[in-house]
Structure 1
């Protein structure tokens, strides 16, 4: 029995993808640092797009990539890979949703640069949000509230709470995918970039705040009272 337990612990620590929610051996990361690693690449993307000409003037080699959006796309890809590498270095695991988003960034970013077509990077949020919605809602169809993989470091909920929260986030990702399609197809590139950075995040934060009553009802421990 002791040998089996040791083996199970060894396998768990060697997993690259994060283990199940609330797993006792799951390494934790400071929530603010985790947020910075997830939002940092997006900030880089916005800054590079808005300051594309200045960046190219300072680093002329980047002119080969094309206009500001293409420079921003390349830096976005690099920042995403760096963020995932830092996350892995700190925890020896890779968070599921950021790695899915990262893979889509790399694939669609590569297509954007190769074909010199900004449509691909504009479609990335639609693909990512649609994929997240499919994963979360599909997981629920099989009785698996997968959102626990994302938020279990912040909240400890009962099974019903994870199911309800997963359903709501799944539907919210559907809304984000639809909104992205409407914006990039009907407005300028600069407006789309600004909306992606300065509107999508506030909308997400407002949605998260509306979930606090559900979190309180289904929390297994006092909310926002985690030990430092």
Structure 2
């Protein structure tokens, strides 16, 4: 039998570039082309749709680079990629930016549903994905999973409220900085949980 390829870790700088480079590129591309209209084969496309058409292959490329460098892709990364390609493709095909604006709603709603389904079975699917990078006691994973499930649901609702009630400029800023900083902030405020339920602490509380 052939042994599985070892998983290699990316440097913090490379991981940051691969994870957030496409998001920042989308923001800069939109800022540059938002006032322009592109005509292709007699069909006019807004700057938003044009930037979406550039963002999708860029995300595919960075995902493939990450896979080649590490030898592994998480299920969350794969699901995100599939939804980006799907909703990005619909945006381009129908020339309708609303599809791409709905993408974060679908991503966070699906993640929340998956975590909720695991909780209903008394399991933390989050632990299955992140256990290697964040060792914790089972009780800690269950608490974090419940919190993240609620957080993802809040993000999904927030995205719907923003894109349906505010300008495209506001939504792009929200998507680029609001959602990203929100995720960073969420995990930053879990420091006490990580400290309490760290795997090396054998006598941590149950709740």
TM superposition score category, shorter chain reference: 0.7 to 0.9
1:156: which partner in 2?
A: 135
Query: Partners in 1 of 2:83 and 2:44 — Cα distance?
Result: 19
1:135 matched to 2:82? The reply is: no
RMSD over aligned Cα, in angstroms?
2.5
Query: What displacement does 1:120 show?
Result: 0.1
State whether residues 65 and 113 of structure 1, in contact with CA within 8 Å, keep that contact through their aligned partners in structure 2. Answer: no
Decide whether aligned partners of structure 1 residues 144 and 33 sit closer, same or farther in structure 2, where only a CA change above 3 A counts. Answer: farther
Count of residues paired in the alignment: 200
Gaps of 5+ in 2: 202-207
1:33 Cα shift?
2.7
Q: Does 1:67 align with 2:46?
A: yes
Classify the secondary structure of the residue corresponding to 2:125. coil
Match of 1:187 in 2: 166
* Residues 1:92 and 1:154: Cα distance change in structure 2 (over 3 Å): closer
Deviation string, structure 1 residues 11-69 (Cα, Å, up to 9, x no partner) = x43xxxxxxxxxxx544333443333222221111111111169989xx98x9771111
User: Counterpart in 2 of 1:43?
Assistant: 24
Q: Following the alignment from structure 2 to structure 1, what is the Cα–Cα distance between the partners of residues 106 and 139?
A: 28
105-114 vs 153-162, greater mean Cα deviation: 153-162
Cα distance change, pair 148–30 in 1 and its aligned pair in 2 (3 A): farther
Task: Measure the CA separation in 2 of the matches of 1:98 and 1:65.
Answer: 32
CA distance, structure 2, for counterparts of residue 173 and residue 149 of structure 1: 18
Matched, 1:177 2:156: yes
TM-score (norm. length: structure 2):
0.86
Task: Tell me the secondary structure at the aligned position of residue 171 of structure 1.
Answer: helix
1:208 maps to 187
Tell me by how many angstroms 1:142 deviates. Answer: 2.5
Residue 77 (structure 2) pairs with residue 77 (structure 1): no
1:219 to 174, 198, 207: 198
For 1:104, which of 65, 83, 93 is the aligned residue?
83
User: Are positions 1:34 and 2:9 aligned together?
Assistant: no
Tell me the distance in 2 between the aligned counterparts of 1:42 and 1:65: 24
* Aligned residues of 2:35 and 2:47 also touching (Cα < 8 A): no
Q: Hey, what does 1:146 align to over in structure 2?
A: 125
TM-score (norm 1): 0.78
Aligned match of 1:16: none
For the 8 Å contact 1:50–1:68, the answer to whether it is kept is no
